[in-house]
């Protein structure tokens, strides 16, 4: 039960934390731009309260425009090279930079899948036997590192390195898979509801 609670809490944290960081970053940038535009609010002949709304909306538009321009530059070879150099020299040494970057990328769907969030069946031995596991990381040459827990304690298990062709994705929640492991197979039918597909398939 303790392992299940820890796994469930961590699963929720993985979802909420990137969203919180993303919203915080947007609000911080918009507020900074709004402060720069504060003098404009004083010269606008608008009803009380409206000027602040106009400034905030303008700040939000400018922020989106800046993000668009930066993204446009990052599509070019020169932009990518410049940012890579800037990141290596100035940004990577900053505390928490890598953590924040990875969290935001994950929120936007540009990073790797968070570990233990993909429930799979692995054909480890090349026969009709399948093992229930979780994707830990994606490796070069279309390989995956998998953690296959053993029941009834899901914190114990084995690590396998399998080709994606050996792995079938299950449309099941990680917490449901953990329950099946703790129950040594009880309730496994819930994992097979919905359409299964090869890993990475559409």
Nearest Cα residue to 144 out of 126, 167, 177: 167
Write down the pLDDT at residue 15.
61
Q: Are 152 and 129 in contact (CB under 8 A)?
A: no
Q: What is the chain's pLDDT, residue by residue, as a tens digit (202 residues)?
A: 666 677 677 666 666 766 777 778 788 888 888 888 777 766 766 666 677 777 788 888 888 898 889 888 888 888 888 888 888 888 888 776 776 676 666 555 555 566 678 899 999 988 889 999 999 988 988 999 999 999 888 888 999 999 999 999 998 888 889 989 998 888 888 888 754 556 555 4
Spell out the domain ranges in the chain: 2-107, 119-198
CA distances from 10 to 3, 15, 17, 83 (A): 11, 9, 10, 32
């Amino acid at each position: 039960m303790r392992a299940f609670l820890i796994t469930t809490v961590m699963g929720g944290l993985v979802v909420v934390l990137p969203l919180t960081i993303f919203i915080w970053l947007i609000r911080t940038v918009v507020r900074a731009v709004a402060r720069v535009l504060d003098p404009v609010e004083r010269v606008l002949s608008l009803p009380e309260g409206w000027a602040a709304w106009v400034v905030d909306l303008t700040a939000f538009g400018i922020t989106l425009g800046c993000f668009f321009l930066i993204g446009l530059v990052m599509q070019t070879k020169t932009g990518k090279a410049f940012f890579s150099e800037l990141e290596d020299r100035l940004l990577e040494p900053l505390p928490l930079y890598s953590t924040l970057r990875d969290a935001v990328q994950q929120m936007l769907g540009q990073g790797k899948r968070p570990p233990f969030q993909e429930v799979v069946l692995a054909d480890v031995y090349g026969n009709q036997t399948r093992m229930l596991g979780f994707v830990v990381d994606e490796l070069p040459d279309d390989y995956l590192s998998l953690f296959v827990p053993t029941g009834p304690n899901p914190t114990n298990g084995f690590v396998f390195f399998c080709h994606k062709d050996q792995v079938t994705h299950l449309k099941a929640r990680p917490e449901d898979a953990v329950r099946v492991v703790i129950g040594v197979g009880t309730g496994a039918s819930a994992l097979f509801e919905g359409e299964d597909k090869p890993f990475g398939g559409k």
